[in-house]
Amino acid sequence: EVQLVESGGGLVKPGGSLRLSCAASGFSFSTSTMTWVRQAPGKGLEWVSCIDSGSSHIFSADSVKGRFTISRDNAKNSLYLEMNNLRAEDTAVYYCVTGDANVWGQGTMVTVSS
Amino acid sequence: DIQMTQSPSAMSASVGDRVTITCRASQGISNYLAWFQQKPGKVPKRLIYASSSLQSGVPSRFSGSGSGTEFTLTISSLQPEDFATYYCLQHNSYPRTFGQGTKLEIK
């Protein structure tokens, strides 16, 4: 079964940092582009960042450039999102998604509040 | 960046109705468009990819069409389980962009 399981969410103060992880199984993670998508409470979907299979090409939304870093470890079938200088507007459920957006994890909630 | 504009942003319809949702891209994206359904508290589910290809397991009452800048998602006969929010996503270029969503409610 194809599965993506996110972890690492939580409550953090503005300006703080958090690292999200996504454990992948059931498909060829090492050959798959991977993506993070987020959804603020009661709002729509926002594409955040993606990384190709070899970590050669990385793209990010302007809203997170310079603050969030996507990375992966193919040996561990894992995707990461390092989030720094967090703001209230980063509060959202963060989804780990395959590059073709066919498979989504259950999401992990990040709340930025003092 | 490519902007995706969905319309309407919300609509109400009855079981059995035919419903069409439109997504317009600010520049041409060929057929690199997908449609998603999201129910409250649930994870988005891909319905359509490559503008008109039906995801395996999705009922045939869902269909997609379009190319370039204008795309449509059609539900031929609404069922109770179809009341949800629908999003389009362009994957022609980076950054990828979603439409703002269309909330489909029961009339």
Rounded distance between C-alpha atoms, residue B55 and residue B101, angstroms: 19
- The pLDDT score that the predictor gives to residue A100 is 86
The alpha-carbon radius of gyration of chain A (Å, integer) is 13
pLDDT at A88 over 90: yes
Average pLDDT value for residue range A22-28: 97
E strand or H helix that includes residue B69: none
Rounded distance between C-alpha atoms, residue B74 and residue A33, angstroms: 29
Q: How confident is the model at residue A99 (pLDDT cuts 50, 70, 90)?
A: confident
- Overall residue count recorded for chain A in this entry: 114
Q: What is the DSSP string of A29-87?
A: GGG--EEEEEE-TTS-EEEEEEE-TTS--EEE-TTTTTTEEEEEEGGGTEEEEEE-S--
Task: Choose from A3, A34, A45, A63 for mutation: most chain B CBs within 10 A.
Answer: A45
Rounded distance between C-alpha atoms, residue A10 and residue A110, angstroms: 5
Interface residue B55 vs chain A (CB under 8 A): yes
Share of chain B above pLDDT 90, in %: 98
pLDDT at A91 over 90: yes
Q: Residue B49 forms beta bridges with which residues?
A: B53
- The pLDDT score that the predictor gives to residue A56 is 97
For B71-96, the pLDDT digits (tens) are: 999 999 999 999 999 999 999 999 99
Dihedral angle over CA of A67, A68, A71, A77, nearest 10 = 150
The nearest alpha carbon in chain B to A65 belongs to: B95
Residues of A in contact with B99 (CB under 8 A): 44
